[in-house]
Amino acid sequence: MNKARLRVPGPTEVPERVLSKMAFPMINHRGDEFRNLYLKVCSEIKYVFQTENDVLIFPSAGTGVMEAAISNFFSPGDLIVSFQCGVFGERFAEIAKAYGANVEVIKAEYGMPITKEMVRDRIKKDKNYEIKGILFTQNETSTGVLNDIKALKEAVGDHPALIIVDAISSLGAVELKTDEWGIDVVVSSSQKAFMLPPGLGFISISEKAWKAYEYSKMPKYYFDIKKAKNTLQKGETPYTPFVSLIYALEESLKIIKEEGLENIIRKHKKISEALRAGIKAIKLKPFVKDDYASPTVTAVEIPEEYKDLTKTLKNKFNITVAGGQGSLKGKIMRIGHLGYVDFLDIIAVISALEMAIGDEKLFGKGIKAAEKKYLEGGI
Amino acid sequence: MNKARLRVPGPTEVPERVLSKMAFPMINHRGDEFRNLYLKVCSEIKYVFQTENDVLIFPSAGTGVMEAAISNFFSPGDLIVSFQCGVFGERFAEIAKAYGANVEVIKAEYGMPITKEMVRDRIKKDKNYEIKGILFTQNETSTGVLNDIKALKEAVGDHPALIIVDAISSLGAVELKTDEWGIDVVVSSSQKAFMLPPGLGFISISEKAWKAYEYSKMPKYYFDIKKAKNTLQKGETPYTPFVSLIYALEESLKIIKEEGLENIIRKHKKISEALRAGIKAIKLKPFVKDDYASPTVTAVEIPEEYKDLTKTLKNKFNITVAGGQGSLKGKIMRIGHLGYVDFLDIIAVISALEMAIGDEKLFGKGIKAAEKKYLEGGI
């Protein structure tokens, strides 16, 4: 049996150093030991968010903090513009609708990013500042598209709407300068670049967003950020925290600090570029163009003649990649390369693809292209 | 930072299923829970040894059970013939000498195996059956040579000497039919094909060897097999057992049984052949010929122009391979591929070697050759 190689875009593999923390003993979550730990991680996580804003941690999936990013800042009837280019953009809008917002959807087709023009055009029309919130997805996991949040924020200009970014599958792997770019709310989740098991949602909140909180009339309880902030001041959580994952988070933040965020971001970019070079060399086609390709997940078109590519990777090599979602089901496969992953992990995927395709003339070709790309500019 | 890839010929990587057992709670080693566990593993381990003989477990390194394989069966002055082709064969002889045996050494040069002729010639001369013991090393880890134990045993014929085999780096990865071939004593160790952390030594003992025990006058205490056998009958050990590793052994034996020894042996052979094909394609030279190449460790000559190959693998790719031992220091590197390892692990090593050598013309060449070889005969 081959080793299990998990190459989905989250959960990612978890470093042994982190996994071992999951086996630490339980402690009283109202005791000093937990308090010190919790205050420490809530402070240190700001480094990954590149922010001085509050960052709160909820025991939840990523979708939970997406909900928090809506219900804490808006009121029913508020106009929220949702820029979408895939399943996760759509989800953000669905949450806003469920809470009674007046959601306006602006879509790019699957495989394409949101453009500055799309944002600028909409903002221009909003003479009376009716838009209260703007939803972006930094990394659209369903298609492998990276939206240029910096440029999109610039396109928003000084419009007073809250800028809310789903950075679930990008934060800690892709540049996101929360404060420098002026992003009000950023949400992320443990099982992505944080290299943790699933279970924690993270949300950063700007001062402007805290002001919006005061006027928000949407119902909230579990995800109430004010309650979470108030208890955090005592080093506690409103409800029982996920103790094991807090231990693990302490360790993963340590690893991220040791490696340096810049190096980690660079690593993801290099790996992604090398993978794309390798894929093209064995005549597979990345689903999106290089210009806006995600550094954390690469969607590859499944050619008609290799319909079973994903199955072959699984059955013959025990590599698990993700399939397409929604209308892309069966049309693409998505190779995750975020968090605890390195270039040689990607070499393994390319080699397995070469063998799965089975054309001897292509053997080694993908690897060669990937190696060349990877070595560009030194390692 | 790249992931740590441990490619030394032991300790090997340990499956997560096994590692997690190392964190199980301590139990009383004189209680029923331990007794049941211990009786179970001591019985199930016979499958790997392919024997109905007793197999005893000692909390020790492999060298400990090598010592047990001498001190329990011989008396000072006994003639023991040590067939050696590397450092570990030499060690076996040193132990015998330390215990006062009259050791005769028959050597093959480093990189060559022991031949049937070498054995047959010596046996022929022993008209009066003066030889009491014959020491073989199945897999000479220091050079990557596999000795053909079946053929060597046939060359011994019906000479009454005890046949003692060091199978530390081969048992469970290479065919060794203890009973069918008539091997009296086989020793092995946990950190090799058993996929465990170091700490356990294993020894199988034939009926003939038990008879020899009765006459043995070499001193022994910790490694006294009779004491171990007597306490085993009660499900106990003479001295405190390595409880965590016994839990882990239970799990690794389960994995070995699930996969099937034959499949595991075949896997090691295929991986080794593919690695050798890959190495040759990038103009590196395996230290030993295909005919007697080890399926668990491959020694590669270090070319003058790539003196730092081992360092580069470590520093740039975090792959740890072993260096040469004794007079081979600096001349070879040894790539371990036993236990918890699969083909894509070896692809990673070949890719790293391609990049470490850095000749773009060779990029992908080693991978291509390895993929072709690996797919021969199906996977």
Residue B371: give its domain's CATH number. Answer: 3.90.1150.10
- Tell if the CB–CB gap between A368 and B371 is shorter than 8 Å: no
- Tell if the CB–CB gap between B379 and A316 is shorter than 8 Å: yes
Distance in angstroms (rounded) separating the CA atoms of residues A205 and A200: 16
**Quick one: pLDDT at residue A379?**
78
For B326-356, letters b (16+ CB in 10 Å) and e give eebeeebbbbbbbbbbbbbbbbbbbbbbbbb
Strand partners, A200: A59
The tally of domains found in chain B comes to: 2
**Quick one: pLDDT at residue A1?**
77
B370 plus B293 within the same structural domain: yes
Mean pLDDT of chain B: 97
User: Residues in chain B whose beta carbon is closer than 8 A to a beta carbon of chain A?
Assistant: 1-3, 5, 23, 258-259, 316-319, 340, 342-345, 347-348, 351-352, 354-355, 358, 360, 363-369, 371-372, 374-375, 379
Amino acid at B235: G
Reported as a pLDDT band with limits 50, 70 and 90, residue A306 is: very high
B290 plus B176 within the same structural domain: no
Work out the average pLDDT over B194-203: 96
- Structure tokens, B177: 């039919």
Range of the domain at B277: 5-10+261-375
Judging contacts by C-beta atoms under 8 Å, the chain A residues touching residue B318 are 342
Neighbours of A157 (CB within 10 A): 10
Report pTM. 0.92
Per residue in A177-223, pLDDT tens?
999 999 999 999 999 999 999 999 999 999 999 999 999 999 999 99
Percent of chain A with pLDDT over 90: 97
Judging contacts by C-beta atoms under 8 Å, the chain B residues touching residue A12 are none
Locate the chain A residue with the closest alpha carbon to B1.
A259
Judging contacts by C-beta atoms under 8 Å, the chain B residues touching residue A316 are 379
Judging contacts by C-beta atoms under 8 Å, the chain A residues touching residue B374 are 355
- Tell if the CB–CB gap between A340 and B371 is shorter than 8 Å: no
Last residue of a domain, one of B258, B278, B294: B258
User: Residues in chain A whose beta carbon is closer than 8 A to a beta carbon of chain B?
Assistant: 1-3, 5, 23, 258-259, 316-319, 340, 342-345, 347-348, 351-352, 354-355, 358, 360, 363-369, 371-372, 374-375, 379
For B104-124, letters b (16+ CB in 10 Å) and e give eebbbebbbbbbeebbeebbe
- Tell if the CB–CB gap between A347 and B343 is shorter than 8 Å: no
Nearest to A267 by CA among A150, A178, A346, A179: A346
Last residue of a domain, one of A212, A235, A258: A258
Residues in chain A, total = 379
- Cα R_g (chain A), whole angstroms: 21
- Strand A185-189 with B131-137, pairing: unpaired
List, as own/partner pairs, every contact residues B301-310 make where C-beta atoms lie below 8 angstroms and the sequence separation is at least 24, other chains included: B301/B331, B301/B332, B302/B330, B302/B331, B302/B332, B302/B333, B306/B356, B306/B357, B309/B333, B309/B353, B309/B356, B309/B357
A241 plus A361 within the same structural domain: no
Amino acid at A3: K
**Quick one: pLDDT at residue A67?**
97
- Structure tokens, B79: 């003639």
A247 plus A306 within the same structural domain: no
Q: Match 């500055």 to its residue by tokens.
A: A116
Residue to test with chain B: of A355, A357, A373, most B Cβ within 10 A: A355
**Quick one: pLDDT at residue A39?**
98
Locate the chain B residue with the closest alpha carbon to A317.
B344
Work out the average pLDDT over A242-263: 97
Q: Where are the beta strands (DSSP E) in A182-331?
A: 185-189, 200-205, 285-286, 297-301, 319-323
- Res A357 pLDDT > 80: yes
What is the ipTM metric for this complex? 0.86
Contact A372, B360 (CB under 8 A): yes
In sequence order, which ranges of B101-148 are alpha helices (DSSP H)? 116-125
Contact A158, A129 (CB under 8 A): no
- Hey, is A205 helix, strand or coil? strand
Work out the average pLDDT over A358-363: 97
**Quick one: pLDDT at residue B280?**
98
- Tell if the CB–CB gap between A367 and B379 is shorter than 8 Å: no
Reported as type and span, the H/E element at residue A259 is: helix A243-259
Distance in angstroms (rounded) separating the CA atoms of residues A202 and A179: 16
- Strand A332-336 with A297-301, pairing: antiparallel
Q: How far is CA B176 from CA A49, A104, B294, in A?
A: 57, 71, 13
Contact B176, B168 (CB under 8 A): no
Residue to test with chain A: of B22, B344, B345, B365, most A Cβ within 10 A: B344
A193 plus A287 within the same structural domain: no
- Structure tokens, A243: 């103790």
- Structure tokens, B355: 């990049």
A186 plus A321 within the same structural domain: no
Per residue in B93-110, pLDDT tens?
999 999 999 999 999 999
A328 plus A202 within the same structural domain: no
User: Number of H helices and number of E strands within chain B?
Assistant: 15, 14
Locate the chain B residue with the closest alpha carbon to A261.
B1
Locate the chain B residue with the closest alpha carbon to A14.
B3
Per residue in B204-242, pLDDT tens?
999 999 999 999 999 999 999 999 999 999 999 999 999
Work out the average pLDDT over B279-297: 97
Per residue in A28-74, pLDDT tens?
988 999 999 999 999 999 999 999 999 999 999 999 999 999 999 99
Half-sphere exposure of residue B375, counting CA atoms within 13 Å on the CB side? 18
Last residue of a domain, one of B258, B280, B305: B258
Q: How far is CA A349 from CA A286, A342, B101, B203, B356, in A?
A: 14, 11, 54, 40, 20
Work out the average pLDDT over B153-180: 98
Locate the chain A residue with the closest alpha carbon to B255.
A1
Q: How far is CA B347 from CA A59, A339, B66, B253, B373, in A?
A: 39, 21, 34, 27, 12
Per residue in A109-163, pLDDT tens?
999 999 999 999 999 999 999 999 999 999 999 999 999 999 999 999 999 999 9
Distance from CA of A178 to the nearest CA of B (A): 25
Work out the average pLDDT over B19-35: 92
A66 plus A131 within the same structural domain: yes
B366 plus B281 within the same structural domain: yes
- Tell if the CB–CB gap between A3 and B354 is shorter than 8 Å: no
Contact B133, B164 (CB under 8 A): yes
B230 plus B275 within the same structural domain: no
- Tell if the CB–CB gap between B363 and A368 is shorter than 8 Å: yes
Longest Cα separation, chain B: 65
B47 plus B33 within the same structural domain: yes
- Tell if the CB–CB gap between A363 and B342 is shorter than 8 Å: no
B234 plus B339 within the same structural domain: no
The DSSP-derived string for B54-103 is: EEEEEES-HHHHHHHHHHTT--TT-EEEEEESSHHHHHHHHHHHHTT-EE
Give me the CATH number covering residue A238.
3.40.640.10
DSSP one-letter code for B335:
E
Strand partners, B171: B174
**Quick one: pLDDT at residue B1?**
77
